A and B are shown apart, each in its own frame.
Chain A
Amino acid sequence: MLQSGEIIAPIILTLELAATTTLLLLLLGTPLAWWLARSRARWKEVVGTIVALPLVLPPTVLGFYLLIALGPSGLGGLFGPLFGLRTFAFTFEGLVVGSMVYSMPFVIQPIRNAFEAMGDRPLEVAATLRASPFDRFLTVALPLARPGFVSGAVLGFAHTVGEFGVVLMIGGNIQGETKVLSVAIYDYVETLQWREAHLLAGGMLVFAFLIIFATTMVERRSRRWRVS
């Protein structure tokens, strides 16, 4: 018989990872999405393409480069000592960095789309009503892009929860540190623990359904605004 802790730990770790990743992506991704939506720079689509790359690259390719980047001869060796680490590979911090890269397009794209969809007019109106650029961003752009933020956050969170390939490449399988849900399921199946695998897999299925359903409902509700 397994300890219940053994099955709970990956769930908690996964939720922690997904929450941290989503939060950081929202913070760092919003300015980038704004720039991608508003800039007239020609080369912005180069940046846009880089942001979209994780959509197409196999997780193993992504994981391979991340492993090198996070390792002792990469960023890990450079910044690791600040955190008392020799490397970021096979650590929770490393997983956060990897997940951020992996889930980046899912957060940034909906926010960028929302910023683009609102057009110039609401911001121009706000400017004629004495709102400074930052004021316009806070009081007009952010509220109008709310549906984009909701979908971005939900998709980013969900996508991080479901991540497998990249985690395996850069995180390995350390209980309580890097062993997330998807890896745990893989383990249970390998060791023929069908009951535990069922429990986690079924939970993921329900979770995925609820996420997509909720996002759709939020989008439907917000569309009513757009009439004017």
Chain B
Amino acid sequence: MPPRAGAAGDDNSIAVDLTGSLGRFRLAMSFTVPLSGVTAIFGPSGSGKTSLLRAIAGLHRMEGLVRIGAEVWQDAGTFLPVHRRRIGYVFQEPSLFPHLSVRQNLLYGASRSGRATDAAAARLFDECADFLKLGPLLDRMPSHLSGGERQRVSLGRALLSLPRLLLMDEPLSSLDRTAKGEILPYLETLHATLAIPILYVSHDMAEVERLADRIVLIESGMVLASAPLNEALTDPRLPLARQPGFASVLTAIISGCHMEDGLVELDLGGQPLLVAGSIGDPAGSLRRVRIAAGDVSLSTGKPENSTILNSLAVRIDAVEPLGETEALCFLSLRERADLRLVARITRRSARRLDLKPGMGVFAQVKTVSLASGAEPQQGGLQPTADRLASGARNGG
């Protein structure tokens, strides 16, 4: 779509700059993120994440700017009402219409989004129902569905309304463990195959590790940071790495496989990394790896004769004390300063090895796990994704 005359800014970003109030406390949130991928809006409960998402949707009135690509949804002189903003909103609770069947719920938004032809709409419906495995549920009423099934329907309903932007407000938090595990793979597939940008509100780091490409970090109604996932996680100025159980997340490329050991070899910024699982996946595909800070130990010389498989040549960027006895070491790969990880070590060791910023060391990684099945690439929903994306671009 050519930029509309008078539209400000570039066409490939989402720009949000909003001010308002939530009860007694002030919200002033501003960020710009690319018009693709999953952006996690992350922060503690009550920090204003949901208000931000509702304001972007137009459900909650805040002053300021909301621009999606070339479409201005809100600025000084404009305020598009909710139904004129092409969003897909997945609420915390599934919120299906109780008086409509699953099929009618799915079609509610679809029939109001002005699709080109009936045939194309029907094909899209079938693909979406197929992808979310809703076929057997189509004629049931929402009261006869499980929690996970309901959230799947609400996801499908949002997708079928051909959104230009998907807004998800902690879509997993109302679900129990089993249902969560049931929905997450769908979200991962969406992330991998869908061209529609997603703003994903969460306070659960595990979801962020698996889904997010970027983080907008919110605290007390302010944006603390907006950065790519790896960069935000490993930023010494941000509180993320100080959380218990913290892990760095990096993206690596499958480069080979050791069938006899059940290990797959990844290329992480030019250095090899051996990880269990994903045997048989094609070389060249991207994998997200998770390295817990507590599983990383440092040594000044290249470790030999160790049972630990993976050792990465890294440089120390910063050393920060953590509590009474520990310290966090912020590291970047020797040849790739943009790939970073964090090690949690004792202060005693830091003193003994005289660890200082700028030093080259080796990071021994005890456990590396694959954070998710797949990173963006060709996938099962691709045809749908293309159509959804082109619908989002051309429809109106």
Interface residues of A (CB under 8 A from B): 121-122, 124-133, 135, 139-140, 143-144, 146, 224-228
For B112, what are the chain A residues with a Cβ–Cβ distance below 8 Å? 129-131, 135
Among B82, B109, B158, point to the contact of A124 (Cβ < 8 A).
B82
A153 CA to B94 CA in the complex, in Å?
A: 32
Contact across chains for A125 and B95 when beta carbons are under 8 A apart: yes
Contact across chains for A144 and B109 when beta carbons are under 8 A apart: no
A13 CB to nearest chain B CB (Å): 37
B216 an interface residue at 8 Å Cβ cutoff? no
B139 CB to nearest chain A CB (Å): 16
Given the known interface contacts A125-B95, A225-B99, the answer about A130 and B150 at a Cβ–Cβ threshold of 8 Å is no
Contact across chains for A228 and B96 when beta carbons are under 8 A apart: yes
Contact across chains for B113 and A128 when beta carbons are under 8 A apart: no
A131 CA to B58 CA in the complex, in Å?
A: 13
Contact across chains for B98 and A226 when beta carbons are under 8 A apart: yes
Most chain A C-beta atoms within 10 Å of own C-beta, residue among B87, B112, B142: B112
Which chain B residue lies CB-closest to A139? Answer: B108
Which chain B residue lies CB-closest to A227? Answer: B143
Among A131, A135, A227, point to the contact of B98 (Cβ < 8 A).
A227
Among B83, B109, B150, B158, point to the contact of A228 (Cβ < 8 A).
B150
Contact across chains for B97 and A128 when beta carbons are under 8 A apart: no
Contact across chains for B143 and A125 when beta carbons are under 8 A apart: no
A66 CB to nearest chain B CB (Å): 39
- Contact flags (1/0) for B57-82 with A, using CB distance below 8 Å? 11100000000000000000000011
Given the known interface contacts A129-B108, A129-B161, A228-B150, the answer about A121 and B95 at a Cβ–Cβ threshold of 8 Å is yes
A89 CA to B243 CA in the complex, in Å?
A: 79
- Contact flags (1/0) for B130-171 with A, using CB distance below 8 Å? 000000000001110100001000000110010000000000
A145 CA to B56 CA in the complex, in Å?
A: 29
A128 CA to B87 CA in the complex, in Å?
A: 6
A115 CB to nearest chain B CB (Å): 14
Contact across chains for B98 and A225 when beta carbons are under 8 A apart: yes
A225 CA to B161 CA in the complex, in Å?
A: 25
Closest 6 CB pairs of A and B: A129-B109, A127-B82, A128-B89, A130-B112, A227-B143, A228-B142
For A130, what are the chain B residues with a Cβ–Cβ distance below 8 Å? 83-84, 86, 109, 112-113, 161
For A135, what are the chain B residues with a Cβ–Cβ distance below 8 Å? 83, 112
Contact across chains for A125 and B98 when beta carbons are under 8 A apart: no
B88 an interface residue at 8 Å Cβ cutoff? yes
A128 CA to B86 CA in the complex, in Å?
A: 8
A226 CB to nearest chain B CB (Å): 7
For A140, what are the chain B residues with a Cβ–Cβ distance below 8 Å? 97
B91 an interface residue at 8 Å Cβ cutoff? yes
B contact patch SS: loop
For B83, what are the chain A residues with a Cβ–Cβ distance below 8 Å? 127-133, 135
For B81, what are the chain A residues with a Cβ–Cβ distance below 8 Å? 127
Contact across chains for A228 and B89 when beta carbons are under 8 A apart: no
For A129, what are the chain B residues with a Cβ–Cβ distance below 8 Å? 83, 108-109, 112, 157-158, 161
For A226, what are the chain B residues with a Cβ–Cβ distance below 8 Å? 98
- Contact flags (1/0) for B95-125 with A, using CB distance below 8 Å? 1111100000000110011000000000000
Contact across chains for B98 and A121 when beta carbons are under 8 A apart: no
Contact across chains for B98 and A124 when beta carbons are under 8 A apart: no
| Apart from A128-B87, A130-B112, A228-B98, 14 more pairs, CB < 8 Å | A124-B91, A125-B95, A126-B108, A127-B82, A128-B59, A128-B82, A128-B109, A129-B109, A130-B113, A131-B112, A225-B98, A225-B99, A225-B143, A228-B142
For A146, what are the chain B residues with a Cβ–Cβ distance below 8 Å? 99
A161 CA to B83 CA in the complex, in Å?
A: 44
Most chain A C-beta atoms within 10 Å of own C-beta, residue among B89, B96, B97: B97
For A132, what are the chain B residues with a Cβ–Cβ distance below 8 Å? 83
A154 CA to B57 CA in the complex, in Å?
A: 40
Given the known interface contacts A129-B109, A131-B83, the answer about A122 and B95 at a Cβ–Cβ threshold of 8 Å is yes
A139 CA to B100 CA in the complex, in Å?
A: 10
Contact across chains for B98 and A128 when beta carbons are under 8 A apart: no
Which chain A residue lies CB-closest to B143? Answer: A227
Contact across chains for B89 and A125 when beta carbons are under 8 A apart: yes
A84 CB to nearest chain B CB (Å): 46
Given the known interface contacts A131-B83, A131-B112, A228-B143, the answer about A125 and B97 at a Cβ–Cβ threshold of 8 Å is yes
A177 CA to B106 CA in the complex, in Å?
A: 54
For B141, what are the chain A residues with a Cβ–Cβ distance below 8 Å? 225
A167 CB to nearest chain B CB (Å): 38
For B142, what are the chain A residues with a Cβ–Cβ distance below 8 Å? 228
Most chain B C-beta atoms within 10 Å of own C-beta, residue among A128, A131, A135, A143: A128
The 12 sampled A-B contact pairs (Cβ below 8 Å) are A121-B93, A122-B97, A125-B89, A125-B95, A128-B89, A129-B83, A130-B83, A130-B109, A130-B112, A144-B97, A225-B98, A228-B96
A134 CB to nearest chain B CB (Å): 11
Most chain B C-beta atoms within 10 Å of own C-beta, residue among A121, A122, A226, A228: A228
For B109, what are the chain A residues with a Cβ–Cβ distance below 8 Å? 128-130
Which chain A residue lies CB-closest to B157? Answer: A129
For B91, what are the chain A residues with a Cβ–Cβ distance below 8 Å? 121, 124-125
